[in-house]
Amino acid sequence: MGYWDDFTGEYESLFDRDPMYADALRLIVELVGDANRKRVLDLGCGSGTLLARIADENPDAELYGIDPSERMVQGCVNRFRETPNVHIAIGSALRVPLPSDYVHCVVSNLALHHVPPEDRTACAAELARLLKAGGRLIYADMFCDVDGPVDDPTRARDIIHKMVGKSLYDLEHGAFETMLLHIGDIPAVIKGEGEHFTTDAAWREHLAVAGFHRFEVIPVEPAEFGYRILVAVRK
Ligand SMILES: C[S@@+](CC[C@H](N)C(=O)[O-])C[C@H]1O[C@@H](n2cnc3c(N)ncnc32)[C@H](O)[C@@H]1O
């Protein structure tokens, strides 16, 4: 996980001026609702910003943050040293070190696009394993509207349109570092190198097979850039 290992420390400044990121976190916390006396997992928790918001709103929740990046995890361990109901561990979207049928809610923001296409079935199965019946997945990420081979011009155009649009939006809102990140990421997203954007419909199919239903897709505005929250209920 070298890429995100490099970002620990400056990570907060990457997103702290990004209005869409702020809106996404606010929406996710609203969707989680009252999590007191419940267990919530943040999969791909990064520096722990979302976990901190959920902890603030839900002082009696048991919160779990999992990330494959050792430096991100170490940063979170330090951040939550005085917060005994927040538990941090190394893990990945395919292997979460928690028991089956354990959490009431899984949240994930901007992390599961790192899961390669061939691992999406296993990831959906892992999410289904962790959640209690009736529990909810609240999965926010950048989605595209066209999937297909790496050299498909329609797919590339969709990615460029969304990512350039998002970069310009970042620039206009003073999120200069975030703009640089998004602009720099465009070739990797097109080539599928560590970044695997797909449609929310593709994820819904994997999740339906794994045992989820009652899907809802909520756009983070402006909707045209593909930042969406996919909500699903474990059967
Ligand atoms: C853009 S950051 C988002 C972090 C955090 N969720 C947030 O909203 O600020 C992406 C995170 O995904 C994590 N990640 C990468 N591959 C992953 C995987 N296979 N499973 C879970 N998390 C992963 C990275 O280590 C990194 O912390």
Q: Domain boundaries in the chain?
A: 2-12+22-142+195-234
pTM of the model: 0.96
Which are the contacts of 230, defined by CB distance < 8 A and separation ≥ 6?
Answer: 137, 138, 139, 140, 141, 143, 200, 203, 204, 207, 215, 216, 217
Are the beta carbons of 129 and 99 closer than 8 angstroms? Answer: no
User: From the CA of 181, how far away is ligand 1's center (Å)?
Assistant: 15
Q: Is 58 in the pocket of ligand 1 (CB under 6 A)?
A: no
- The per-residue pLDDT string of the chain (235 residues; one tens digit each, 9 = 90 and over) reads 456 666 544 666 677 788 999 999 999 999 999 999 999 999 999 999 999 999 999 999 999 999 999 999 999 999 999 999 999 999 999 999 999 999 999 999 999 999 999 999 999 999 999 999 999 999 999 999 999 999 999 999 999 999 999 999 999 999 998 999 999 999 999 999 999 999 999 999 999 999 999 999 999 999 999 999 999 999 9
Cα(3)–Cα(73) distance, rounded to whole angstroms?
14
Q: Is 125 in the pocket of ligand 1 (CB under 6 A)?
A: no
For residue 220, what is the DSSP state?
P
How far CA 189 is from CA of 12, 35, 44, 82, 84, in Å, comes to 22, 35, 18, 38, 38
Q: Is 68 in the pocket of ligand 1 (CB under 6 A)?
A: yes
Determine which residue's CA is closest to atom 10 belonging to ligand 1.
111
Compute the chain's Rg from CA coordinates.
Answer: 17
User: From the CA of 67, how far away is ligand 1's center (Å)?
Assistant: 6
Cα(12)–Cα(232) distance, rounded to whole angstroms?
28
In terms of Cβ atoms closer than 10 Å to its own Cβ (0-12, 13-18, 19+), residue 141 is buried
Q: Is 142 in the pocket of ligand 1 (CB under 6 A)?
A: no
Cα(196)–Cα(150) distance, rounded to whole angstroms?
10
User: From the CA of 9, how far away is ligand 1's center (Å)?
Assistant: 15
Q: Is 41 in the pocket of ligand 1 (CB under 6 A)?
A: no
Question: Which residue spans within the chain are E strands per DSSP?
Answer: 39-43, 62-67, 86-90, 103-109, 131-142, 212-219, 227-234
Q: Is 181 in the pocket of ligand 1 (CB under 6 A)?
A: no
To which CATH superfamily is domain 2-12+22-142+195-234 assigned? Vaccinia Virus protein VP39 (3.40.50.150)
